[in-house]
A and B are shown apart, each in its own frame.
Chain A
């Protein structure tokens, strides 16, 4: 009986594996302790009472989901800052490498390169500004006990900021890719070009991490809404 109850609760929290694992152990310990402490002897009746006292598994799962969502939004807000910093370091390392290797752009593509550099710079700093706004927006807020309309609106606003920051960062990474491609052709692939290619790989991976994080927040927000409706 207790195991069925725990499975129901844990299934409802399947969107957060670490949370569901922790909840399983905590609730299992709680319910068996309640059964052992039941003055009217053990058995199925005591298990039934322990479960009844614990409450509706869906209602409790919904409360856990709200905490999990708040945790994930904070994690994503920090991830945005770290990812942007990662892209910045990769970008600067590549530029330093070009300077060290005295790798210059040909005259024929200088105009195109100038425009792409401009797009790159503005989109990158736009992502920095939006990312910082998103981080400040989430960090300064209290973790809610419930998921009211205002909390839902806050999550939606935060997601919009995340998407805007990621969009700007993606434009910057694509621009970096174009700039790298403009420098590389005509040169034979040699170990010295591993650094630009590697730094580009880091930038693409950083953008991928951000996509994954935003996706996980969206998933958790949806799961929380579903749990609150049931």
Chain B
């Protein structure tokens, strides 16, 4: 189920600002209260895919360690996609919430 929402999760993590892969994973962990336990490597193909789709842009920067790292940021299209997916998610949650709240134990048929 988590994999189906990976794009939304990554876009949401990057909504705070540009970040490299490791920082994206840390942000996902922090914001989700360590609820998501995906293999960390899964994030990178998702970042590449979202960049390919035009939802992210990336550039190389040199870290304090001297290593080169790729920093990703949301594009305008990415921001719009995040807003749309967020709205869909809220609708879905409201619908499921309504169903669960209205659920009654099944009685015997009359």
A37-83 interface with B by 8 A CB criterion = 53-57, 59-60, 63-64, 66-67, 70-71
Choose the segment among A20-28, A129-137, A164-172, A200-208 that binds chain B (4+ C-beta atoms closer than 8 Å).
A20-28
* Chain A residues, Cβ within 8 Å of B32: none
Which A residues are in CB contact (< 8 Å) with B68?
25, 29
Q: How far is the CB of B25 from chain A (nearest CB, A)?
A: 8
Partner of B48, one of A25, A33, A64, A142: A64
In the complex, which range does the number of interface residues on chain B fall in? 20 to 34
Given known contacts A22-B70, A26-B21, A33-B22, A145 and B49 CB-to-CB distance under 8 angstroms: yes
- Complex Cα distance, B39 from A57, in Å, reads 11
A71-B20 Cα distance, complex, nearest whole Å: 21
Residue of A25, A28, A29, A67 touching B45 (CB-CB under 8 A): A67
Query: Which of A19, A28, A33, A59 is most buried by chain B, counting CB atoms within 10 A of its CB?
Result: A33
Q: How far is the CA of A105 from the CA of B60 in the complex (A)?
A: 59
Chain A residues whose CB sits within 8 angstroms of the CB of B69 once the complex forms: 25-26, 29
Show 15 residue pairs from A and B whose CB-CB distance is below 8 angstroms, ordered by the A residue.
A25-B60, A25-B68, A25-B70, A26-B21, A26-B44, A30-B40, A36-B65, A54-B41, A57-B41, A64-B45, A66-B45, A66-B49, A142-B53, A143-B49, A145-B49
> Is A27 in contact with B49, judged by CB distance below 8 angstroms?
no
